[in-house]
Amino acid sequence: MARRFTDKKLVIASHNRGKIVEIADLLAPFGIEVISAADLNLPEPEETEKTFIGNAQLKALASARAANLPALADDSGLVVAALDGAPGIYSARWAGPDKDFDMAMEKIHIGVGDDPDRSAAFICALSLAWPDGHVENFEGRVDGELVWPKRGRGGFGYDPMFRPDGFDQTFGEMAPAKKHEMSHRARAFALLVAACFA
């Protein structure tokens, strides 16, 4: 049985503005005061794990212990079949220190080349950690395909080059509310809510 979340304040263990906004939007209905690791000037731990859940848990525990508050961390990325699962857990790092996702998308496009397999998936792991070291982990996934040229200016990261299965629009073209309904983060979040908030 998952531990219930009963606190009134939660740290989002991230320095990524787009991710912070998206998670804060998903938390809004619960009346929880949200503060980011960036707002608290918490250091970003080095992501040394080999899985999305491993890295999410590492970040959540670091923020929970540093802030002495429960913390929610996300580790997510784009998994491309033609690139043997890359960039995967290295999705943010592919964008370099300047977080240049236009360059990262170009790198994926060039890497895939003429490969007819354009399938890809966004995966999101969420870890909710408490200062005592307890952690609950959840994972969501959305399958789709890569498009080129990229389309749309919404979302963040690789959203403009990813079209989810069953949709004509990329994540970059979707209104935020529509993306929130079915994204990898929303799916992981639904599991989190059902286990810890419902």
Residues in the chain: 198
> For each of the chain's 198 residues, which pLDDT tens digit applies?
899 999 989 999 998 887 788 888 888 889 888 999 999 999 889 889 999 999 999 999 999 999 999 999 999 999 999 999 999 999 999 999 998 999 999 999 999 999 999 999 999 999 999 999 999 999 999 999 999 999 999 888 999 999 999 999 999 999 988 888 889 988 999 999 999 987
State the pLDDT at residue 16: 82
Catalytic residues: 75
Pairwise CA distance, residues 38 & 20, whole Å: 10
- pTM of the entire structure? 0.90
Strand order in the sheet with 33-36: 33-36, 9-12, 71-80, 119-129, 135-146, 162-164
Question: To the nearest 5 percent, what fractions of the chain are helix, strand and coil?
Answer: 40, 25, 40
> Which domains can be identified in the chain, with CATH numbers?
9-197 (3.90.950.10)
Cα dihedral 13, 15, 18, 20 in deg (nearest 10): 30
